[in-house]
Each structure stands twice: as C-alpha cells, then as structure tokens.
Structure 1
Amino acid sequence: MNPGASAEGAVVAIPEPSRWVRRWAHLVTPGGTVLDVACGSGRHARWFASRGYPVVAIDRDPAALAAMRHEAGIVTVQADIEGGPWPLDDGRKFAAVVVTNYLHRPLFGRLLDALAPGGVLIYETFAQSNETVGKPSNPAFLLAPGELLDVVRPQLRVVAFQDGFLATPKEAFVQRVCAVLVPERHADSAESLPPARYDLAG
C-alpha cells in the first residue's frame, strides 16, 4: 500500500489503485488532466499525479480531500455531487474520467460530457448479485446487466468491458468499462485505438 498523510499529518495507508484503472491508464494522453470522481482517499488521484498527470479530485468528504492538500499535481474540489450542483460547470474537459466503487446514475451524462476528444472513461463499480456476497447490497448501488455498455456506447468507443464475479481482492460482482471519446477526425477509423474487446480476464 502507498503511504499518505492525514489532515493531522499522520501517515496513513492508501489502498492500492484498481487493477482495471492501471490496466487502461496507458490510453490517457500523457500530461492530460484526469478527473477522479468520488475520489475518497485519493488512491487513483495520487497514482496518476505520481506519473505526471494533473488531477482534479472531487469528493464530499473534507477530511479525505485535506489529506491530499499538499500532494503535487492534485487540485481538490469539495462538493456534494448528488445533492448539489455539478461543481465543474466551467466547460473544462479532461483527458480521462475515473470512477471506482461509486454509482449515482444521474451523473452519467455529466461524466461523458467532461471528456475531451480522445478522452478515456475508466469506470468500475458493483453489479447486481453483489448482494449475495456482501455490500453494497442496495439495488440503487448495483448496476444492471450491461448497464455501463448502454450508457457509453451511444457516444464512446468501447475498448474493454467486464461484467461478472471477481474473487480478489475480495469477492464481488462488478462491471467495468474502458471507453474512448473518438476525435471527430477519427470517427470513422480505428486509427490510434486498440481493437474493442469484451472479456472477463484480469
């Protein structure tokens, strides 16, 4: 695990970045700004920042954000993105939008609109049947079969998708997608993009 500093300056353990995020991070334009939504302890914000990506990290928890206050390359935004207005209504676009272990369906449109041409959406969260192995078990927080595909396919090129059971790091049913907003000049071409793949490996 990676160390980090708490708001009081104590060293705390930061969970490892998601394997899914690490697997597809190479698609993000070098030096492009990454939007980490519902960033929590900042495991992905810190990981991208350590590799030279500017990061905007959004969360409603001021303590979690305070722990990243002095991290180089990270700008934190405290906002209730479920109960309040979207905090980035300034037209900013991002080279990547990263979301893990978080689901608030009304934000789907905001997340897609936040992508710059060539931008990458890396999304991973819990799916239906997770209630059989643990939490979350509330249907509001569990994706229906193929739901992420239905969300992204009208606008994005799907690079990879997974929907199924994972035994590690803990038992869970998940859905994951990596998808790219193809620049207009490449809209009818596979140039510069890997072939789409749908699998349950990794």
Structure 2
Amino acid sequence: MALCAHMVCGAGAASPWVIRHSQLIQSGRVLDVACGHGRNLRPLLGSDLELFGVDRDPAGFAELNLAGVRTITLDLEQEMDEVLPFEDASFSALIVCNYLHRPLFPRLLKLLAPGGVMIYETFAVGNEEFGKPSRAEFLLKEGELLQLIASDPTVAMEVIAYESGYVDVPKPAQIQRICARRQGGAKQLNRLA
C-alpha cells in the first residue's frame, strides 16, 4: 500500500505547491490521483475545468460529486490491469500529493496531453527522522522525482519548478515536489508567482 496517511500540507488544506502551480492550468480536464477528500481539487471548483478524482477509498466522494467532480474508486496498486482507465493524452493537468507508487509513473506521463502540467509532491528519504511515512517504498530517493519525470522516452517533459528538502509546516517533513509540462502543443508561458 503506497497511500500515505500523513499529509505534508494538513488534512483539509490544499497544498500550497498545488495552489501555486495550478495557475498554469488554463483549460481542459484535471485528474487528482489519490485524491482523498479532494483537498487539492477544491481550489479549482467553480472554474471551467473538468475535474476528476481517483482514490481507493470513496469516503469523500459524495461531497465531491455534488460539487461536480467525477470520481472513480480504484486501488491503484491492486488493479494494475485497470490502471487509470482513461485514454492517453486526455488530461491537461495531473495532481499527485502525498502518494508514491513508482510503477504508476509511465501511465501518469502518458495521460498528460501535449502542453499538460503535472504537479507532484510527496515524501523523500530523510522523512523517517520525523515520523511516518518511514518505509523506503514510500520515500523518494535523492533526485528520484526528476528521474521519474524523465522515465518514459516517448513523453518529453520540461521541468518548470523542482524542490527537495525539509519543511516545517504543517509538520516537519522531508519532501520532493515538481511541476513539469509535457512538451508539444502550443507554446505556453510558465507564469510563476
């Protein structure tokens, strides 16, 4: 099981990393992988974006569905034959926060449309000093997120922003986070806050 029970950004608050880079999502479909109760989709509600959330636990789906988010209950580790049942290049943005299942990365990259943005944030080696998650399968190795973004030679990604290090808020943690755009499509400005 690769779903992390402890949040980098708190149980109810959207990730500041996701909020900062969500301004790069101009239109289209957005998928939040391991969305939980949808904390990272909430800031996008009311936009013209088509929002999707997938998680193995549908506990938070009723409220998301009422808000117009399409949800899918799927255990991303156990149901590898049905991993993210969407067509390739069908999303303008992917959000992944506090979740790591390395075999899923090639599929995630293929889901991004040309010009699409991936916003990813999760725990890294060194987090075991601060609590959970502490097992190696839940922790990115040094620079691993950069390697995973470049792991499929058929999907060229441009890194917009990358950070690796220690954070204090909402609790001490060691993390890596990246925002990257799939190359291709119309040239877009990467407006940074």
**TM-score when scaled to structure 1?**
0.81
Question: Matched residues in 2 for 1:64 and 1:122: separation?
Answer: 21
Indicate if the aligned counterparts of 2:130 and 2:173 stay in contact, CA closer than 8 A. Answer: yes
User: Distance between the aligned counterparts of 2:135 and 2:121, measured in 1?
Assistant: 17
Counterpart check, 1:67 vs 2:71? no
Q: In structure 2, what residue type is equivalent to 1:28?
A: I
- 8 Å CA contact 2:24–2:190 kept in 1: the answer is no
Q: 1:111 maps to what in 2? A: 108
Seen in structure 2, the aligned counterparts of structure 1 residues 126 and 97 have a Cα distance that, compared at 3 Å, is same
- The answer on 1:97 being equivalent to 2:91 is no
2:16 is matched by which residue type in structure 1? R
Which one-letter code corresponds to 1:100 in the other structure? C
Aligned length: 178
Residues 93, 22 of structure 1: alpha-carbon distance in 2 compared, 3 angstrom cutoff: same
Share of identical aligned residues, percent? Answer: 43
Looking at structure 1, the residues matched to 181 and 132 of structure 2 have their Cα atoms a distance apart, in angstroms, of 30
What does residue 4 of structure 2 align with? none
Tell me how far apart the structure 1 counterparts of residues 38 and 84 of structure 2 sit (CA, whole Å): 18
For the Cα contact (< 8 Å) 1:24–1:122, is it kept in 2?
yes
Contact map agreement 1:100 1:125 (CA 8 A) in 2: yes
Structure with bigger gyration radius = 1
Gap regions ≥5 residues in structure 1: 1-13
Alignment match, 2:18? 21
Q: 1-side partners of 2:77 and 2:112: how far apart?
A: 20
C-alpha RMSD of the superposition: 2.2
1:126 is the counterpart of 2:123: yes
Report deviation, 1:67: 3.2
Shift of 1:71: 1.2
Counterpart in 2 of 1:79? 74
Residue of structure 2 equivalent to 1:170: 171
1:89, CA displacement in angstroms? Answer: 4.0
CA distance in 2, matches of 1:139, 1:173: 13
- Secondary structure of the structure 1 residue equivalent to 2:19: helix
1:49 Cα deviation from its structure 2 partner:
2.1
TM, length-normalised to structure 2:
0.85
List runs of 5+ in structure 2 lacking aligned partners.
1-10
In the aligned structure 1, how far is the partner of 2:47 from the partner of 2:24?
13
Letter of the 1:173 partner, please give it.
Answer: Q
Structure 1 stretches of 4+ with a deviation exceeding 6 A read none
Bigger RCO (CA 8 Å, 6+ sep): 2
